[in-house]
């Protein structure tokens, strides 16, 4: 029970009003006041005596000193010296009561810290999301166009130069793409120009080489006819002249550089017939050709120079009868012509000169061989040409390789 009194006057007479209040009601009301998880409210008088406390055991040791300090400080909110509590103090002057609210700092700070932690995590997640989005944008509009350009440039090292890079991305990348496309166009034009110039040079060189071999062969043949005429062998000279006419028709071939293999073999046979007359049957020869090769194309006058070398530098020095074998083989993707004789052969030094990449120098014996080798490489590529095997006093075998072109669609360079 709590008794509250107040002096009053009625009709000029002094009275004392006394109200007895059930303290259970006060206790029930104050217990419903929530201050954090552990906070509480109590009531004290002007003397520092606790009138109501939800935890009576605690106030016996702590609250009296605190109340006296609060009364001295006045109304307000304070933090205790040990920084464990926050204390709110209000005075009811007409009752002489002091209402004190106590809150634990740790209970007050924990929600704030939790809120701060939660907000920090949210901000961090948002920042990471922004960074991820920004990275995607940078990759799409900056890094990706540059990567695509690098990939395209690397591809142009092996692929066609006709393709152009797509001009996309930010301004600088578009300018760079535009400049690179212009460069590709210029390179393509220069390559086309170089190819055309090389083709013209090859055509001119082919004409020079072709003109070189015709006088060389003609000189040797006329020399043979003259030799027979000096021997008064008019019949033989006439036969050789007739054979020479056939040779010249095939050699001219209407100005074409390519002729059928059949005509090239006919040319070789006519040459051997002429020489057989001259050498008075001192040698024999044989042709063996794989089936289906007669209509394949070849550079003209590639066999006769080697037959000439076989006769002049091989069989002519023999005492016994010599023999020449001409073998034409089908190697699927290319044709191999082998010209073998059983003549005097050649030295290792001479053989090495023939088999070296540039072949014999164009002098003496090397005119015909070097001419044929060069024409084959000009027309068909560096992987084609001639090679030779030889042993002294055993004979020589010359191999001629060129691509198998039997459909007639090969375009001269």
The CATH number given to whatever domain includes residue 47 is 3.30.450
Residue 31 included in any domain: yes
Task: Clarify whether residues 200 and 100 are in a common domain.
Answer: no
Calpha distance 53→167 (Å, rounded): 82
Pair 204, 344 in one domain: yes
CATH number at residue 322: 3.30.565.10
Query: Does the residue 254 lie in any domain?
Result: yes
The verdict on 244 and 97 lying in the same domain is no
pLDDT tens per residue, range 247-292:
778 777 666 778 899 999 998 998 888 888 777 788 999 999 999 9
CA distances 301 to 75, 171, 252, 329, Å, are 128, 62, 10, 18
Closest Cα partner for 85 from 66, 60, 59, 71?
66
The whole-number pLDDT of residue 325 equals 96
Residue 204 structural domain: 194-403
Between CA 65 and CA 116 the distance in angstroms is: 35
Same domain assignment for residues 341 and 202: yes
DSSP β-bridge partners for residue 78 = 87
Q: How far apart are CA 136 and CA 194, in angstroms?
A: 46
State how far Cα 37 lies from the chain centre.
68
Task: Determine the pLDDT at residue 207.
Answer: 63
For strands 85-92 and 2-10, give the pairing: unpaired
Q: Is 168 part of a structural domain of the chain?
A: no
What per-residue confidence (pLDDT) applies to 265?
A: 94
In a domain, 182, yes or no: no
Identify whether the C-beta of residue 202 lies closer than 8 Å to the C-beta of residue 413: yes
pLDDT score at 60: 53
CA-CA distance, 43 to 53, in Å (whole number)? 7
Sheet holding 385-391, edge to edge: 283-289, 322-330, 334-341, 395-403, 385-391
Cα first-last separation, the chain: 127
Distance CA 214, CA 205 (A): 14
Number of domains in the chain: 2
Which of 106, 133, 164 is a domain's end point?
A: 106
Tell me if 143 is assigned to some domain: no
pLDDT exceeding 90 applies to what percent of the chain?
A: 15
pLDDT in the model for residue 284: 93
Q: Does 95 lie in the same domain as 207?
A: no
Which of 73, 106, 139 is the last residue before a domain boundary? 106
pLDDT at 264: 92
Instruction: Please answer whether residues 324 and 307 qualify as being in contact, where contact means their C-beta atoms are separated by less than 8 angstroms.
Output: yes
pLDDT at 276: 85
Residues of the chain with pLDDT under 50: 362-364, 409, 411-413
Q: Per the structure block, which two tokens stand in for 393?
A: 């006093």
Q: Is residue 114 part of a domain?
A: no
Q: Would residue 215 count as lying in a domain?
A: yes
Which of 38, 72, 106 is the endpoint of a domain?
106
Q: Identify whether 113 is part of a domain.
A: no
């Amino acid at each position: 029970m709590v008794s509250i009194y107040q002096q009053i006057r009625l009709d000029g007479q002094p009275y004392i009003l006394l109200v007895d209040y059930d303290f259970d009601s006060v206790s029930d009301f104050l217990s419903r006041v929530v201050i954090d998880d552990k906070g509480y409210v109590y009531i004290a008088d002007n003397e520092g005596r606790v009138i109501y406390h939800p935890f009576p055991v605690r106030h016996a040791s702590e609250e009296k000193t605190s109340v006296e300090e609060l009364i001295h400080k006045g109304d307000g909110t304070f933090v205790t010296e040990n920084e464990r509590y926050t204390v709110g103090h209000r005075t009811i002057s007409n009752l002489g009561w002091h209402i004190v609210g106590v809150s634990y700092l740790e209970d007050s700070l924990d929600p704030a810290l939790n809120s701060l932690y939660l907000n920090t995590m949210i901000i961090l997640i948002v920042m990471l999301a922004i960074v991820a989005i920004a990275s995607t944008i940078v990759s799409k509009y900056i890094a990706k166009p540059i990567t695509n350009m690098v990939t395209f440039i690397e591809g142009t090292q092996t692929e066609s130069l006709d393709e152009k890079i797509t001009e996309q991305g930010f301004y600088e990348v578009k300018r760079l793409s535009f400049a690179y496309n212009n460069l590709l166009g210029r390179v393509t034009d220069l390559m086309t120009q170089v190819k055309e110039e090389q083709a013209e040079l090859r055509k001119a060189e082919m004409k020079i080489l072709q003109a070189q071999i015709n006088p060389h062969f003609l000189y040797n043949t006329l020399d043979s006819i003259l030799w027979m005429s000096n021997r008064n062998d008019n019949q033989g000279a006439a036969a050789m002249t007739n054979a020479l006419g056939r040779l010249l028709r095939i050699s001219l071939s209407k100005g074409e550089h390519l002729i059928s293999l059949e005509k090239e073999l006919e040319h070789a046979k006519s040459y051997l017939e002429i020489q057989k007359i001259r050498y008075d049957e001192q040698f024999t020869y044989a042709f063996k050709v794989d089936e289906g090769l007669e209509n394949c194309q070849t550079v003209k006058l590639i066999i006769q120079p080697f037959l000439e070398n076989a006769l002049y530098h091989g069989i002519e020095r023999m005492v016994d009868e010599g023999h020449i074998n001409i073998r034409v083989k089908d190697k699927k993707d290319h044709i191999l012509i082998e010209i073998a004789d059983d003549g005097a052969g050649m030295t290792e030094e001479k053989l090495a000169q023939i088999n070296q990449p540039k072949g014999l120098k164009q002098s003496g014996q090397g005119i015909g061989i070097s001419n044929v080798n060069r024409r084959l490489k000009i027309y068909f590529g560096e992987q084609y040409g001639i090679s030779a095997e030889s042993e002294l006093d055993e004979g020589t075998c010359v191999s001629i390789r060129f691509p198998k072109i039997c459909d007639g669609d090969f375009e001269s360079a």
